[in-house]
Homo-oligomer: A and B are copies of this chain.
Amino acid sequence: MPGPIQSIERAAAILRLLASGARKMGVGELATALGLPKGTVHGILRTLQHVGFVEQSQDTGKYQLGAALFHIGSSYLDANELRTRALNWSDSLAARSKESVRIGTLHEGQVLVVHHVFRPDNSSQVLEVGALLPAHASALGRVLLANDPLGQPAGAELAGFTPYTCTDPDQLRQLLAETKSRGWAAEVEEMVEGEVSVAAPIRDRRGVTVGAIGISGPIERLCDPDRAPRTELVSYVREAARAISRDLGAIPW
């Protein structure tokens, strides 16, 4: 039976729409978005509701994601070897660098954040685990793209977020080559003005890059006056990445 099961594919498409839509959606809305009859969509929704993957508002009849899906999804993190192995090292990186730490993997051309340690001051920060970051404008993404076995940037326009964002494919290609050879990446005010990030690749026992770890924070603390990342911070990040890679069984470099 080579060929995906349609009802499941459709159910997945519905869930993806509900996830991206941010707010509740109605049957008709989903139906037109997918080009399917209302009845069909309703049947799928009923099943998804039955298994707890979606919930329905009692007043308006609209649908939204369900708690069961959230719980199941979150247990992805437990099974994720990268994240499990990285927990201790990311804490210590946060302590040494005094900045917030994030770990990410490449997922459909973007960076999926699988772990996040807050900056060790008491400022209030929002948890970004589960969020998707643009690959071309974040240090994590640059590292992952540069070491990705498949071809890189893909098609898609390179979105600009600040005046500094690198939106030229050729320039990006050169940055990635540089990243690959020197073993780390940085991004200075390319995603958020005043914010800088630095990252390095994490490899597994086969030597392939399975993720990246990096720090981010205000430019005043992360960079020298010449807008170059401070060398000791780069060292911290690279050492953390190397330590995690070793834990994952990578050949000691």
Chain B minimum-CB-distance residue to A21: B79
User: With A70-B130, A73-B71 given, is the CB distance from A108 to B5 under 8 Å?
Assistant: no
Q: In the complex, which of the residues B4, B43, B66, B79 contacts A5, with contact meaning CB atoms closer than 8 Å? A: B43
> Interface 1/0s, chain A 92-128, versus B by CB < 8 A?
0001000000000101100010100010101010110
Chain B minimum-CB-distance residue to A95: B122
Chain B minimum-CB-distance residue to A125: B91
| A39 to B122 alpha-carbon distance, docked (Å) | 54
Instruction: Contact check, B4 vs A132: say whether CB atoms are below 8 A apart.
Output: no
CB neighbours of A19 from chain B (8 A): 71-72, 75-76
| A77 to B126 alpha-carbon distance, docked (Å) | 12
**CB of A51 closer than 8 Å to a CB of B:** yes
Instruction: Contact check, A72 vs B39: say whether CB atoms are below 8 A apart.
Output: no
Name the segment of A7-15, A168-176, A195-203 touching the other chain: A7-15
Could you show 30 A-B contacts with beta carbons less than 8 Å apart?
A1-B39, A1-B43, A4-B50, A4-B51, A5-B44, A8-B47, A8-B48, A8-B51, A9-B47, A12-B53, A13-B51, A16-B68, A16-B72, A19-B76, A24-B79, A52-B108, A66-B76, A67-B112, A68-B107, A69-B73, A70-B74, A70-B112, A70-B114, A73-B73, A73-B74, A73-B130, A75-B130, A77-B130, A127-B129, A129-B129
- Chain A count of residues within 8 A CB distance of the other chain: 61
CB neighbours of A112 from chain B (8 A): 67, 70-71
| A91 to B125 alpha-carbon distance, docked (Å) | 10
CB neighbours of A126 from chain B (8 A): 87
**CB of A23 closer than 8 Å to a CB of B:** yes
User: With A118-B118, A124-B91 given, is the CB distance from A72 to B73 under 8 Å?
Assistant: yes
| A66 to B127 alpha-carbon distance, docked (Å) | 21
> Interface 1/0s, chain A 199-213, versus B by CB < 8 A?
000000000000000
Chain B minimum-CB-distance residue to A16: B72
User: With A47-B8, A51-B12, A118-B118 given, is the CB distance from A76 to B72 under 8 Å?
Assistant: no
